Amino acid sequence: MSENTLNQNVSVSNRSKKHASDQNANFGKSAPSDKKTSSVNKKISEKSHNANESQHRSKKRDLNPGQESIQKAAPVRSQQHSNKKKRKSAGAENGKDVKNAASETNVPLSETARHRSVQQNTKEIRKRPKKARKKSKSGFSKVLALVLGLIILLLLTTAGISYVRFQKKLNSTEKLEISDSVLQYRDTVEKYAAQYDIEEYVDYLLAIIQVESGGEGSDIMQSSESAGLDVNTYTPEESIAQGCAYFKELLNALNYFECDIDTLLQAYNYGNNFIVYVSENGQKYDFDLSMAYAEEKSNGEKVQYWNIVALRHGMKWRYKYGNMFYVDLIHQYI
């Protein structure tokens, strides 16, 4: 064996011994390292177990999302139900609202209960103005109904009084008074009545003025037409003078045909031909003759005529020729 070979073997042998000694040295130090590793592993295992349990619970919540909230809400609902009963009983006894009743009984209100009490109070507040408006409307309606009732009663009373007066006037035989506006011309009438020798007919002449004009206007006896002139041509004195002259003319015709004074009065309105008409039909005035004469002259044309003398005959009209009620109108005053 050569010297180099021997040296190599010795070197290999030395390296083997050194490696063996190193292994022995490391073997003695491995025990503490294994203990630390097992402790770490245990902690990791525990954390993993806890994580698995947490994940399991999360999955359960995902599968039953309302179960936990129901379980939590159950005590709250039970408490709310109890609070509601207590508030109702307290409110019924004391006449207070839900919120005051709850505070007096020292019952704690949950958020939901407070919200409900606020809503209820709000509704009550909203209702109060409506009730007030209803009461106001009801009061106004009552006052209005009372006022209308009084007005209707007043109207009915007035209508009743007017009807009684009308019926009294309708059936009355009392003579009406000549107005002062006519009586102011009495001296003038007497003057011309004496001139035409008709003094005994002064009251008839005054009644004619009352019916024709009431003493108002210029042609107070409406006599201008009897002279062939236009209506209202004369002054009051001229009208009286012509009226008295026309009356004397009719009186002469009346005496000639032997008719009555009512025929003369109606002839003052119709004209002197009416005296001839009456003389041919009994020589005595009758309302039917007056109406027949007016019907003939008007060709049967009628006009409305509201007057007490017409109503006494059951009429609200007259024929459109003169006034067939003229005698009745005169006899209201004489």
199, 108: one domain? no
**Domain count for the chain:** 2
Rounded Cα gap, residues 188 and 238, in angstroms: 10
Does residue 198 lie in a domain region? yes
Answer yes or no: is 104 within a domain: yes
Report the alpha-carbon distance of residue 305 to residue 244 in Å, rounded. Answer: 28
Cβ-proximal residues to 65 (8 Å cutoff; 6+ apart), any chain: none
193 and 111 both lie in a single domain: no
User: What are the pLDDT digits (tens) for 171-211?
Assistant: 777 899 999 999 999 999 999 999 999 999 999 999 999 99
- Confidence (pLDDT) at 267: 98
Instruction: Say which residues have a Cβ less than 8 Å from residue 204's Cβ, sequence separation at least 6.
Output: 247, 261, 265, 330, 334
pLDDT band at 113 (very low <50, low <70, confident <90, very high): low
Would you say residue 19 lies in a domain? no
User: In this predicted model, which residue has the larger pLDDT, 260 or 45?
Assistant: 260
Range of the domain at 247: 180-330
Q: CA–CA separation, 240 vs 8, rounded Å?
A: 192
The reported pLDDT for the residue numbered 90 is: 54
Residue 323 domain flag: yes
Enumerate the β-bridge partners of residue 318: 303
**298 in Cβ contact with 320 (< 8 Å):** yes
- CATH code at 215? 1.10.530.10
Quick: pLDDT tens for 240-295: 999 999 999 999 999 999 999 999 999 999 999 999 999 999 999 999 999 999 99
Residue 200 falls inside a structural domain: yes
Read off the tokens for 79: 């408490």
- Judgement on whether residues 186 and 316 belong to the same structural domain of the protein: yes
pTM (2 d.p.): 0.55
Which of 68, 101, 129 lies at the terminal end of a domain, its last residue? 129
Q: How many CB atoms lie within 10 A of CB 127?
A: 10
